Amino acid sequence: MEPVYARLVEAVRAGTVRLDRMTSFNLDEYVGLPPDHAQSYHAFMRAQLIAPLGLDPARLHLPRGDAPDPVAEARRYEAAILAAGGIDLQLLGIGENGHIGFNEPSSSLASPTRVKTLNRGTRAANARFFGPGETVPRHAITMGIATILQARHALMLATGAHKAAAVAAMAEGPVSARCPASALQMHPRATIVLDAAAAAKLELRDYYDTVHPDGREPPLG
């Protein structure tokens, strides 16, 4: 997501995008990390968006990883999303095992925001963000799959050959807890943006190129 935020900052500075009415809700946060921890998503958002644009931090919401009761914090966060009117645009990546947010394989497709245990692969993939001797947390508070599906528009970005199998399972496989991202097949307004490497294992590529030549939305008729 770093390049996405960098382009957004450029667009705001150029005056082509305005964020003065934006309120955001991040997908997740590691359980046990306070907002001032360098690897918390609070710190990530400060570095990527809040500081570069001088945004009011009160308008960017994240779960508190250091909450004394993470389960209660998850419920509070879900209620805060609903109180704000829900999510208009849900920005998503996809894990190599098909997770979205921190909804690991086997996650309920009807899940709300809750605490999830991270599997070894996810923790290993994220270990590069932590310093020597630091342990990647075993749990996270994450928006649930049902919470994600309630967004009015979902936008998923995936790049690189290492995401190709997950992308194929998400778009063309069965809707299954084995690939949590496959739940996006049930979303009425989901847009998937891929580079060629991430799209390499799609079996229906010819059809997609017919429907969206060069990635465009052609007129009907």
Q: Is 147 helix (H, G, I), strand (E, B) or coil?
A: helix
104 included as an active-site residue: yes
Q: Identify the active-site residue in 28, 29, 66, 78.
A: 28
Beta-carbon contacts of residue 62 (< 8 Å; ≥ 6 apart): 25, 26, 29, 35, 41, 42, 45
Q: Identify the active-site residue in 26, 66, 97, 103.
A: 97
Distance CA 85, CA 180 (A): 24
Please check whether residue 27 is in contact with residue 151, taking contact to mean a CB–CB distance below 8 angstroms. no
99 included as an active-site residue: yes
28 included as an active-site residue: yes
- Identify the CA nearest to 25 among candidates 75, 60, 69: 60
- The neighbour count for residue 84, using CB atoms within 10 Å, is 13
Q: Identify the active-site residue in 29, 73, 78, 104.
A: 104
97 included as an active-site residue: yes
Please check whether residue 168 is in contact with residue 200, taking contact to mean a CB–CB distance below 8 angstroms. no
Q: Identify the active-site residue in 26, 42, 73, 99.
A: 99
Active site members: 28, 97, 99, 104
